[in-house]
Structure 1
Amino acid sequence: MKKMNEERRLHPLYLLYGLLSAVKGFLPLIFIGIFNGFNWSRLLEWYWLAGISGLVVLILFFSYLEWRTTVFRLEDDRMVIRKGYLFREEKTLYYSRIHSVNVEQPLIQRLLGIAQLKIETPGGGKKADAVLQALSLKEAGAIKDQLRQFAGHPASSDAAFGAQEKAADSPLAACESQEGVAASRSAESEPLQSDALWTSGLRSEDAERRGQGNKQHARVISLGPGKLFQAAATSLNFGLALAFLAGIYSFADDFIKLLLPDHFFEQVIEDSAWLVSGVLMIIFVSLAVLIFAWGLSVVLYVLKYSGFQIVRERDQVTLSYGLLEKKMVVFNPRNVQAVIVGESLLRQWMGYGEVKLQVVTSDKQEMLMLHPYIKLSEIQQLLDGYIPGFRMKSGQKLQPPPRRALLYYLRIPLLFAAAASIACIIMFGAAGSWCLLLVPLVAAWRFFCHRSAGVLLEDRQLSLRRRWLSRSTYLIARPRIEAMKVSRSLGLRRKELASLSVYALGSSMNFGVSCLEQSDVEQVWNWYSRS
């Protein structure tokens, strides 16, 4: 068992981590050699073998030096990290300033069976303030628990330190996962207000543990395979799938040229033109791409959220999910800044949605998925049990934009649709007239955007709703709003309309709704700006 002020080193597998990291950096060159027909038998010649062997030895040597010179220790009120063999660097992190502790398992660490620890402070930049790249899973979990406890109780002792070491033997601490902790100096949260059972695929279990005379209530919710597939099939995350396809195509373009004959795609298109018209070909190709993108998005979604589970234990909520890259996110509900409820077109029709959280992290645009697929009527139960203080009642009515605001929702998108239709007609003649269908489609889309928007001010919570393709509802309490912006153009002033956007604490993202009733926006502004 490690003692306070005792110096520690990284895991000895850091040597292999350095070697594999270097190999990972050479992967693009290796793939280029494969695609360009490099003669790999040349690597068996003595000078290639000598060069590669010398490079491996050099990398291992510098990895050893870095491992040898990197030490860290936990003191009564701070963590000290020293590293560097040419230029020595010492970093001191006070427990009271530590904001989040992340235990992660990227690909290389996962292959080696180790983890890396990231420590961040509120004033840090985009990168973590300290990174320990190679720790055993047990030690990483133990340090995470120690730092979280010390952040809430800076005064610590050897006895408390030893108790945390013993706690590392629990399955949670040694789980092969990527963990994120949003820790703050706050008191324990109140007990759960509701013990309601969960339905519709949500499996719930309540357990009681007794430790040193205090009861600790643990509640677990997991997502079964059936619900996981429904969530994947209705997510409609085409953007992620198309971006993945574009990246694969740009990377494997040379490889495709080696496998397929010259002008293969041009020949396929030319032969297909004899069978169907150009317009039908465009429609067929578009549908094929969408179907393939949908199937790919289902696969990516299942890989990401497989094994999804939520655990609430006193003042901690733990989210765990992932098939290839396992993740575990641990945070205090009091660090939640805002709740975002998303509903895709299919999910809205089915009465389901997803719940995301804005939690202060180093990545100001990161949102945590509290639940990927839940009935809208059960969201309030979920919030009561895991994120107390937020309210989203089933069927609650928000104040929508007035009818006179519909023109502002329609005009610019319709102008773009009309311009695109005219351009297609000029370029393709009569066949391009099919693009005129864009006009009613865009009009219907913007009509539903207008119809979905709204604002509601109730007690100390502001609720905003908008639609792009999916409908999003934003819930934020008054103390969590860092900034509020009201914008009105000259035309909006004449129509007595205004646009409203808010920024949550610690986030660079804003959530805004356009063209609301001016009186509704003024009510929100007065509520926010009053002392």
Structure 2
Amino acid sequence: MNEPTKLHRLFILFPLVGSVKSLIPIAALVSLKFLGGKSLRDIPWYWLSTVIILVTVLLLYGYLKWKRFVYTLEEDKILIRRGVLFREELSIYTGRIHSMNMEQPLLQRILGLTQVRIETPGKTEGGGILPAVTNSEAKRLQRWLREQTRTKQTDREIRQHESSDPSDHCLSVESERPSVQPSETRENQEFIHPPNHNQGFESNRLANSDSNIAGRHTAGNPETVEEERSTLLQLSSGRLLIAALSSPNLSLALAFVGGILSFADDLLPDRMYQLLFQSAGKLLPGSWIGIAALALIVSWLLSAVLYTIKYANFTVERIGKQISVSCGLLERKRLLFSPERVLAITVKEGVFRRIFGYAEVKVHVLASESDKHFMLHPLLKIKDIPALLNRVTPQFSAQAITASPPPRAIWMYLRWKLAVAALIGSVCIWYFEYLGLLSLLLLPLSLAWGLLSHRDSGLNLTDKQLTIRSRFIAVSTRYIRRPQIIAMEVSGTRRQRRRGLLSLHVKMIFSEINEGLSGMDQREIEAVRTWFQKKKDETSASAEQSGLTSSIDQL
């Protein structure tokens, strides 16, 4: 067992800095409204005393948190003990750890520290976080986890090798087991146990003597382990800026502007607000249109700046058998994941990007924070996507769409869009009268939207992968492996069934990555249902084989 390790001493400042950040708006408001032109000497003594006492209490609390926060690396787990008033002990076994991600929020980045997040199934509610360690310590923890994983895998292979000894008398019973194809068994176990990519190397190690095997277990010092490291891709600032400008994130910009307006609402005098409202009431409709256009342009540029800051220095690396994605200018993040933990891959083609043949690629990974969305590439040519998937997640393949909704299903893509446009137009005409007639332009836009959604939707089915493409505003293509699908729903009204149309809804582990498709030909949906039914049959066969193997081992 290793000795307990403490966090960095600068962790003592975290409670103080966190409280100062939350009190900055209140302090600014109090300073503007109550202090006016007064100097610091005019501040009452009890205010200064309160501030000094508060700072002292926060520093003392930070010291106690640092003193009581320790973690220990044991043989098969990491043990975290923390808590000032109430002591908490958290044991995280290495068999349940997916990865250790290195993050640098703004505070840690300023102080030169790193936050380590331990990813496990389910939500850990902040328990699996080491908020303040050095960069070298974070890398040591990651190497320790990889060494523990490698050791467990080697032990498992040794046990399998010993249990399959030719001198075992159970071989006479092996021939009576139900025949299951190796590829099918591997597919059913793929979601839980990562495939071994170094079988030849491992078999050579298993051929060594027992003394070499024992020495390899005792020599598992994380500091001496050299991991193979290679850079898969790295984006330049110019390429990243093009990606930001071609994918306007208006929601991000509006949230930023809303926060500024909310803060200004507390600081600006009431007279200034009244003056602004009076000036706005005198504007003509043409001026409002110009202001709206200017606001969209400013929001677009602002979203591009925020996008560039978020994904600055974007780099994807391979470290051993894991993939590392690092990015961020103010808050640096480095996320690690195993390709075998990928639930699905999404390729999103924005309106502007689709014209020039570009898209962004995201991976959805099983992690402790529900579903993790990793940006694998923010701006990539569509023709280069197969090569990227082959390098990073070889179990997925970029398949072209082979089945699309038939022409008789167009009405399913038009009805709700036209109904909403007609309702909005009626309300605008009733309220704005002649000016509301401009809202009738929504009808042809909704018609074009529905036709494009019908044209771009479709699916593709291979032996182990389902590909679904749909359009809301952007075209989204999602690649899903059969072992990761939890359930599949097929639905259709009586009218739709008479026309031979069905809808498909695929359910994954997390609802955020569920996928659906409407108005498909009944034969295509039935083929998908039969394809998914094979998973249940293979799972049952695998369970029977495991039960029979267990019975034989007991004999």
Q: TM-score, normalised by structure 2?
A: 0.79
Partner of 1:189: 197
Partner of 2:30: 33
Q: Does 1:406 align with 2:406?
A: no
Q: CA deviation at 1:493?
A: 2.3
Secondary structure of the structure 2 residue equivalent to 1:261: helix
Instruction: State the alpha-carbon separation in 2 of the partners of residues 33 and 151 from structure 1.
Output: 55
- Could you say which structure has the higher helix fraction? 2
Partner of 1:227: 239
Partner of 1:253: 265
Instruction: State the alpha-carbon separation in 2 of the partners of residues 314 and 184 from structure 1.
Output: 19
Gapped regions of structure 2 (runs ≥ 5): 156-190, 200-222, 538-555
Q: CA deviation at 1:370?
A: 0.5
Secondary structure of the structure 2 residue equivalent to 1:474: strand
Q: CA deviation at 1:458?
A: 1.8
Q: CA deviation at 1:286?
A: 2.3
Which of 302, 325, 334 aligns to 2:331? It is: 325
Which amino acid in the other structure matches residue 268 of structure 1? S
Which amino acid in the other structure matches residue 234 of structure 1? S
Secondary structure of the structure 1 residue equivalent to 2:299: helix
Q: 1:251 to 1:492 in 2, by over 3 A?
A: farther
Which amino acid in the other structure matches residue 229 of structure 1? L
Q: CA deviation at 1:73?
A: 0.9
Partner of 2:385: 379
Q: CA deviation at 1:425?
A: 1.1
Q: Does 1:433 align with 2:470?
A: no
Q: Does 1:86 align with 2:85?
A: yes
Gapped regions of structure 1 (runs ≥ 5): 158-182, 192-210
Which of 300, 306, 312 aligns to 1:306? It is: 312
Within 5 Å, give how 1:194-343 maps onto structure 2.
Answer: 216=228, 218-257=230-269, 261-273=272-284, 278=285, 280-343=286-349
Q: 1:214 to 1:56 in 2, by over 3 A?
A: closer
Q: CA deviation at 1:489?
A: 2.7
Partner of 1:112: 111
Q: 1:46 to 1:184 in 2, by over 3 A?
A: farther
Instruction: State the alpha-carbon separation in 2 of the partners of residues 304 and 513 from structure 1.
Output: 32
Q: Does 1:522 align with 2:550?
A: no
Q: 1:150 to 1:184 in 2, by over 3 A?
A: farther
Partner of 1:68: 67
Instruction: State the alpha-carbon separation in 2 of the partners of residues 467 and 244 from structure 1.
Output: 27
Counterpart contact for 1:399–1:456, Cα < 8 Å: yes
Instruction: State the alpha-carbon separation in 1 of the partners of residues 265 and 305 from structure 2.
Output: 23
Which amino acid in the other structure matches residue 266 of structure 1? F
Instruction: State the alpha-carbon separation in 2 of the partners of residues 419 and 218 from structure 1.
Output: 56
Within 5 Å, give how 1:471-490 maps onto structure 2.
Answer: 471-490=475-494
Identity among equivalent positions (%) equals 37
- Could you say which structure has the higher strand fraction? 1
Ranked by relative contact order (alpha carbons within 8 Å, sequence separation 6 or more), the top structure is 2
Q: Does 1:19 align with 2:16?
A: yes
Greater C-alpha Rg: 2
Count of matched residue pairs = 475
Partner of 1:496: 500
Within 5 Å, give how 1:356-367 maps onto structure 2.
Answer: 356-367=362-373
Instruction: State the alpha-carbon separation in 1 of the partners of residues 290 and 346 from structure 2.
Output: 36
RMSD: 2.8
Counterpart contact for 2:459–2:469, Cα < 8 Å: yes
Instruction: State the alpha-carbon separation in 2 of the partners of residues 354 and 322 from structure 1.
Output: 17
Partner of 2:142: 144
Q: 1:251 to 1:156 in 2, by over 3 A?
A: farther
Q: 1:215 to 1:253 in 2, by over 3 A?
A: closer
Moved more, 130-139 or 213-222: 213-222
Q: Does 1:9 align with 2:15?
A: no
Hey, which bits of structure 1, 4+ residues long, moved more than 6 A? 211-215
Which of 135, 140, 144 aligns to 2:133? It is: 135
Instruction: State the alpha-carbon separation in 2 of the partners of residues 76 and 214 from structure 1.
Output: 20
Q: 1:37 to 1:445 in 2, by over 3 A?
A: farther
Counterpart contact for 1:151–1:184, Cα < 8 Å: no
Counterpart contact for 1:115–1:136, Cα < 8 Å: yes
Q: Does 1:460 align with 2:464?
A: yes
Which of 450, 453, 467 aligns to 1:449? It is: 453
Moved more, 502-511 or 374-383: 502-511
Secondary structure of the structure 2 residue equivalent to 1:15: helix
Instruction: State the alpha-carbon separation in 1 of the partners of residues 33 and 420 from structure 2.
Output: 44
User: How far does the alpha carbon of each residue in 1:245-272 deviate from its partner, in whole angstroms, 9 at most, with x for none?
Assistant: 22322232233447x8343333433443
Secondary structure of the structure 2 residue equivalent to 1:312: strand
Instruction: State the alpha-carbon separation in 1 of the partners of residues 238 and 492 from structure 2.
Output: 47
Which amino acid in the other structure matches residue 247 of structure 1? G
Partner of 1:172: none
Counterpart contact for 1:341–1:473, Cα < 8 Å: yes
Which amino acid in the other structure matches residue 329 of structure 2? L
Q: CA deviation at 1:313?
A: 4.3
Instruction: State the alpha-carbon separation in 1 of the partners of residues 81 and 454 from structure 2.
Output: 57
Q: CA deviation at 1:234?
A: 0.6
Which amino acid in the other structure matches residue 189 of structure 1? H
Partner of 2:46: 47
Instruction: State the alpha-carbon separation in 1 of the partners of residues 227 and 371 from structure 2.
Output: 36
Moved more, 379-388 or 340-349: 379-388
Secondary structure of the structure 2 residue equivalent to 1:401: coil
